[in-house]
């Protein structure tokens, strides 16, 4: 799966997703784009999923129309050590994530 880490995600999180083509917004040349522009650019780049900490994104954008699966992480903080606890659930979700769907991964996820 081709995955994009949003600007609010620690870049090192990509190492927790082996077997997937994980790009950061900066590496993909998509820095500074607003959410709607970002989703459109992701389609052009054939990116299938977005991992973000932006809990408002699903309410601000028409994700269903974008054709991108979105995973919203609800970590204790945005620091890598807090988000690492959510990585196993993110890896599991890749098998079920569908275009246009938003999945939330809560802090208490084992």
> What domains lie within the chain, and their CATH numbers?
2-105 (3.40.50)
| pLDDT exceeds cutoff 80 at 60 | no
End-to-end Cα, the chain, rounded Å: 23
Predicted structure pTM score: 0.91
∠ CA 33-37-41, rounded to 5°: 95
Per DSSP, the three-state class of 71 is: strand
Q: Buried (b) or exposed (e) across 6-25, using 16+ Cβ within 10 A?
A: bbebbeebbebbeebebbbb
Q: What is the mean pLDDT of residues 72-100?
A: 94
Tell me the backbone φ, ψ of residue 50, rounded to 5 degrees. -120, 130
| pLDDT exceeds cutoff 90 at 9 | yes
Residue 34: the pLDDT is 79
List the structure tokens of 57.
């994104």
Compute the distance between CA of residue 9 and CA of residue 32 in angstroms, rounded to an integer: 14
């Amino acid at each position: 799966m081709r995955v994009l880490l949003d600007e609010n995600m620690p870049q090192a999180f990509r190492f927790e997703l082996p077997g997937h083509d994980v790009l950061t917004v900066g590496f993909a040349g998509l820095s500074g784009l607003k959410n709607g522009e970002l989703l459109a650019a992701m389609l052009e780049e054939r990116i299938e999923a977005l991992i973000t900490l932006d809990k408002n994104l699903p309410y601000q954008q028409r994700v269903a129309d974008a054709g991108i699966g979105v995973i919203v992480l609800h970590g204790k903080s945005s620091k890598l050590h807090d988000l690492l606890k959510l990585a196993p659930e993110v890896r599991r979700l890749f098998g079920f994530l569908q275009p246009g769907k938003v999945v939330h991964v809560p802090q208490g996820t084992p």
